[in-house]
């Protein structure tokens, strides 16, 4: 399966600032996704990152708060904007080789703490 | 939205014991996936199920796709310390491979 690298692996940020998380895959993939995992919780899908067009956001997540880019088939970024302590979570990138209900494979996540 | 309930929420077992956990929903799904998440890492795919009634093994792990398509089971035989972690079920929802995850089962193994 694809090797997925996320940067940074962790960060501690000040309230009101923004952080951009990068996701790099070692091979071209059709689908890329961003998830949030709040402390002690399960994973929740934030959005599907679409190559060359705006991301598709899930209910409860908006582009102004979580802008996403996907310039090509191997790279995507997620920005967490105007952060508050409630944004302290693990943010995970995942990929699927095709769009036809294939299993997703995950990076190791970015552990974000907001002071 | 859809909710996947996993049971038990957590379990403490002794090394060598067998483990059973399940995932249930009120909705029908066409695929069931099982992932394991170790501390500090992302979830890793264990088993994928695509057909109602399907029984699939991966080493000491065996998973079944429920015949009603509303549930799935994961069994671990002869547990070892490295089985410690959180086990999540997941299903494809909507279009384009989107996943919804279960609430998770936290497994602790004592020597």
* pLDDT for the residue B2: 63
In A47-106, the residues whose Cβ lies within 8 Å of chain B are: 48, 59, 92, 94, 96, 98-106
Q: For B82-97, what is the mean pLDDT?
A: 89
Q: Cβ of B98 under 8 Å from any chain A Cβ? A: yes
* Structure-token match 């929420």, residue found: B9
* pLDDT for the residue B1: 57
pLDDT at B97 over 70: yes
- Name the band, by pLDDT with cuts 50, 70 and 90, for residue A107: very high
pLDDT at B45 over 70: yes
* pLDDT for the residue A102: 81
* pLDDT for the residue B96: 62
**Is the omega angle on the peptide bond into residue B76 within 30 degrees of 0, that is, cis?**
no
Q: For B59-67, what is the mean pLDDT?
A: 97
pLDDT digits (tens, 9 = 90+) for A30-77: 999 999 999 999 999 999 998 988 999 999 999 999 999 999 999 999
Nearest alpha carbon to residue A20 among A115, A106, A104, A110: A110
Q: Tell me which of A42, A53, A91 to substitute to probe the interface with B (most B C-beta atoms closer than 10 Å).
A: A42
Instruction: Choose the weakest-confidence range: A16-30, A77-91, A98-112.
Output: A98-112
Determine whether the interchain pair A106/B42 forms a contact, defined as Cβ–Cβ distance below 8 Å. yes
């Amino acid at each position: 399966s694809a090797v997925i690298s996320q940067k940074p692996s962790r960060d501690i940020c000040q309230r009101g600032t923004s952080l951009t998380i990068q996701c790099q895959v070692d091979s071209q993939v059709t689908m890329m996704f961003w998830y949030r995992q709040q402390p002690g919780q399960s994973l929740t899908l934030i959005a599907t990152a679409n190559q060359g067009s705006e991301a598709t956001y899930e209910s409860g997540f908006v582009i102004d708060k979580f802008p996403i880019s996907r310039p090509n088939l191997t790279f995507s970024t997620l920005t967490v904007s105007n952060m508050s302590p409630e944004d302290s979570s693990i943010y995970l990138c995942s990929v699927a080789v095709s769009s036809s209900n294939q299993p997703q494979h995950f990076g190791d996540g970015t552990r974000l703490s907001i002071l | 939205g859809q909710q996947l309930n996993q049971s038990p929420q957590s379990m403490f077992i002794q090394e060598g014991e067998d483990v059973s956990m399940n995932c249930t929903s009120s909705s029908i799904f066409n695929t069931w996936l099982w992932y394991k998440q170790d501390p500090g890492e992302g979830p890793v795919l264990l088993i994928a199920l695509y057909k109602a009634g399907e029984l699939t093994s991966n080493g000491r792990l065996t998973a079944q796709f429920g015949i009603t398509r509303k549930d799935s089971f994961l069994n671990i035989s002869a547990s070892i310390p490295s089985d410690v972690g959180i086990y999540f079920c997941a299903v494809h929802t909507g279009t384009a491979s989107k996943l919804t995850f279960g609430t998770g089962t936290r497994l602790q193994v004592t020597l």
